[in-house]
Amino acid sequence: LQPMGEQKWSWNDAREYYSKALTSETKAERDEQWGNTFRALGQIMHLIQDSANPAHVRNDPHLDLSEFIGLLGRLDVDGLHDYMARQTVAAYVGGGEISPDSSLLESGHPDGNPLGNLFDHNIFIGSNPDVTLGSNVGVAEYANANFFSDDTIPFQPLANFPSYSYPSLSELIPANSPFPAGRSYVTLLRLGSPSDPRARVAKYTGNQVLARFGFGSLQYDLIGQLRLDDAVYDAYASHLIPRAVGYSAAVLDYFFRGDLRIQGSGQCYEPGLDATQFWVDFTPAHPSHYQGGQGFTLYFQ
């Protein structure tokens, strides 16, 4: 969120562009700064959306080198990202987005900007995953605690990257929903009941009879494997996309939070002055965002 290196699209940059968009002398200058403002905000919102992808918040790199070496460069793709490239966001927000609790943007954050709480509110400390189900946690906390990425499923042959305490194998429950022959899924009760397709967190491959008795034992890997497939990605998206949309919208709401309710306005003339004077009677729509003594400047063209 802060300026780094040569990039010019941080939160502070967006505020600077916004000020110039409102106050620059020419229309061309103002239009350019409006473009810069919304590009910066878009890139910040993109960070929110990236934080809703488990691979991004579980240190699971998926290098796409297909541009350089063709199909071989896609052997380790980010499965959820690849799946969503074939879907529409609208398909997952029919029930509405999940907006962050207002307290996230009213409390402090170590970097000095409450916006950081949308990413990580420091509520989830690695041992309390149930707290992540509310709307007062960062989107990265939610994605990290409740979803696997392709290469961070514990005790799997391809789990070459850092492992995390949650989701834990001991809390996985076999799904009892009917699925196509040859498929069996495991669910996470925090996300729904074993009969709820949205609670799927992995596909189980191997001996399906033994699978029902193996979870909670570190030896279960001898009889089968956990993998992610399109049915799992679909379940993940049903939870993650509404939160990504709601938290992204919160970035815009917070940025443009300086609403003023105009209760009256007018103009007056004073003898000896060539300029017209204006008066405005206003009340802040959100008093906590405006402190007494702050300056107020009216610009007009």
Secondary structure (3-state) at 244? helix
Cα–Cα nearest to 241, from 40, 37, 63, 49: 49
Instruction: Please give the model's pTM, rounded to 2 decimal places.
Output: 0.81
The pair of three-digit structure tokens given for residue 280, joined into one six-digit string? 């405005």
Per-residue pLDDT tens listing for the chain (301 residues): 655 556 789 999 999 999 999 889 899 999 999 999 999 999 999 999 999 999 999 988 776 665 665 555 455 578 899 999 999 999 999 889 999 998 888 877 666 788 899 999 999 998 999 999 999 999 999 999 999 998 888 876 555 566 788 999 889 988 886 666 567 899 999 999 999 999 999 998 765 444 444 555 444 444 567 889 999 999 999 999 999 999 999 999 999 887 666 665 566 656 665 555 666 666 665 565 556 555 566 665 5
Cα–Cα nearest to 65, from 54, 53, 76: 76
The pair of three-digit structure tokens given for residue 130, joined into one six-digit string? 């149930």
